[in-house]
Structure 1
Amino acid sequence: MSTPRFLTLPPGVRSRQIDTPVGAFAVLEAMPVSGVPERWPALLVPGLTGSKEDFIAVLQTLAQSGRRVIAVDMRGQFETGGPEDPRAYTCAALGNDIDVLAHTIGGGEPLHLVGHSFGGLVAREAVIDGRTKFASFTLMSSGPAAIVGVRERAGRAMLAELPESGLEHIWHTRMEPEVLAAGVPDEIIAFLRKRLFANSPTGMTTMTGQVLSSPDRCDELTQVEVPTLVLYGEHDDGWPPRMQSEMADRLSAECVVVPGAAHSPAVEAPETTAAALTRFWNAAEARLLG
């Protein structure tokens, strides 16, 4: 679970809705100070129990490089509605949503795509299907296949409990004790509770199953000509750092390890993360335009 450190939107960042042919998506949109983007836009996709707010700390910095930056709630997450049909929450279906959203944002022009954790598994679907031209692709604290280790065990426990006990049980037995033990401020705890209960239970159940069973698609991803970055915290407790490093080698991708960060670099080390993304995006644009 990503825990935002603050919820106040920085200058130049606003909450809005983007309408697409497959539905409306709640987003946070950051614009350059001038109000006129000079570089290609970026789309940031959160993890399983996260939301667009997980990127608040990096949005203003990313936009200052001259681009429009958008963080989204996926279908069934927080402020984006979703159906009760489990088929809407597979990686393939959510990846199609990202495809359509990227086309709506970019208007057919290249766009930088970032997927955090489960969002990385979703975003790579859009990259692999090849319908949208992406300027670059970043896997942030994500992996080549199903999640492993302590987060796998937590996911399997949640998958077993959700259908019978519901989100209330998950909050009181798992998430609330975790954030209380971490000394999270009351305002943030209230937000995390509100966010969890706003999620679609069907979506949460299906997406948890997806992150626990996702196949390795690195070989397919290598067939797509897109500049790729693998970025993760040195203390990541999701996919092990070594696994992510090996994935970067397989993808011939650039690899950035964020010192001091764990599974949520955009929250835990926002300035370092934003600097790494901006440098990578600028370099990708220079190669593509040169």
Structure 2
Amino acid sequence: MSEHSTDIVPSGLDGGYGTLAAWEVVPPPGVPPRGTAVLVPGFTGSKEDFEALLPLLAASGYRAVAYDQRGQWQSEGPDEIVGYGMDDFTGDLLKVVDQVAGDEPVHLVGHSFGGYVGRVAVVARPERFRSFTLLASGPSSLEDINFPPPGLLAQAVEAGGQEFLWQQMSTAMFAADTVPDPERLKFLHDRILATEKANILGILRTMETPPLADPAQLRAAGVPLLVAYGDTNDLWPPRVHERFAEQLGARRVVYPGVGHLPNEDVPQQVCDDLVAFWSAPVA
């Protein structure tokens, strides 16, 4: 865990099914508050994906909340796949926004599948969001993506469970000549085993239908948009992110030499870009 962990306060939020495990940071004394941000993790992720980023946002004046989606890691979730549809995930997100910000709109950051959830939520309730950042979150899990077909992967997970998925993902995450940190490796393994199998299968089922297939729907919501991504070994090639940003009329930030986790690999750069985006005048 990072040196910033003492700045992070664990909490529980009400979701549509049960309690969602969350982390919260607030600006330190003497730093004027500038707003609230909600950060949503992706497939097999959790609030810990933002551990390095959260304290940086707080130091910049933002209250920030990250949470495990239903059935992920430390959040409660149903045992049945039917409880993990897109309406369930977006309903949880909107409940979180209402709890942490009241009537005030928030800055939303969605990483990977968290961006899928955010897209639907922003279109459904644009007045709840001051901005929306798609962080390493491309347009589809079916085309132009370095990811197995969701339906095929779901069949393998159904047969082999979370351990099968861990073996596949750990092989992809760490190069043959890389020796991962044992503590981090244990955390990632524990996290995927603790994530509900129904969550994994439900998300894979949801991925078979691209959320808001027409980018015009999100553009028309009128919420300022940022597309941010690494240009090396992300799930989506840079040209896909670039085209997606153009279709959305979004601002764009690229992190050279970074893969699918800019929030972990270059958190200070991500923080600086988010703060610049959030502070920019609305066109």
With normalisation by structure 1, the TM-score equals 0.89
User: Match for 1:92 among 68, 84, 87?
Assistant: 87
Instruction: Classify 1:194/1:132 alpha carbon distance in 2 versus 1 (closer, same or farther; 3 Å).
Output: farther
Q: CA RMSD in A?
A: 2.2
Deviation for aligned residue 1:30: 1.2
Partner of 2:56: 61
User: Match for 2:110 among 96, 104, 115?
Assistant: 115
Query: What is the 5 A alignment of 1:84-233?
Result: 84-130=79-125, 132-148=127-143, 151-153=146-148, 155=150, 157-171=152-166, 173-178=167-172, 181=176, 182-215=178-211, 216-233=213-230
Name the amino acid aligned to 2:231: E
Post-superposition Cα deviations, 1:175-234, rounded to whole Å, max 9, x if no partner, equal 344556431111111101110011010110110222243241412111101111000011
User: Match for 2:274 among 264, 271, 277?
Assistant: 277
CA distance in 2, matches of 1:207, 1:109: 29
Deviation for aligned residue 1:104: 1.0
Asked whether the 8 Å contact 2:110–2:133 carries over to 1, the reply is: yes
Partner of 1:25: 20
Name the amino acid aligned to 2:121: A
Asked whether the 8 Å contact 2:14–2:95 carries over to 1, the reply is: no
Deviation for aligned residue 1:255: 0.5
With normalisation by structure 2, the TM-score equals 0.91
CA distance in 2, matches of 1:213, 1:189: 31
Select between 213-222 and 90-99 the one with higher mean Cα deviation.
213-222
Asked whether the 8 Å contact 2:38–2:64 carries over to 1, the reply is: yes
Name the amino acid aligned to 1:18: L
CA distance in 2, matches of 1:74, 1:37: 30
Select between 236-245 and 16-25 the one with higher mean Cα deviation.
16-25
In structure 1, runs of 5+ residues without a counterpart are 1-5
Instruction: Classify 1:79/1:7 alpha carbon distance in 2 versus 1 (closer, same or farther; 3 Å).
Output: farther
Deviation for aligned residue 1:68: 0.6
CA distance in 1, matches of 2:193, 2:80: 18
CA distance in 1, matches of 2:241, 2:92: 25
Partner of 2:253: 256
Deviation for aligned residue 1:120: 0.4
Partner of 1:70: 65
In structure 2, runs of 5+ residues without a counterpart are none
Are 2:262 and 1:265 aligned?
yes
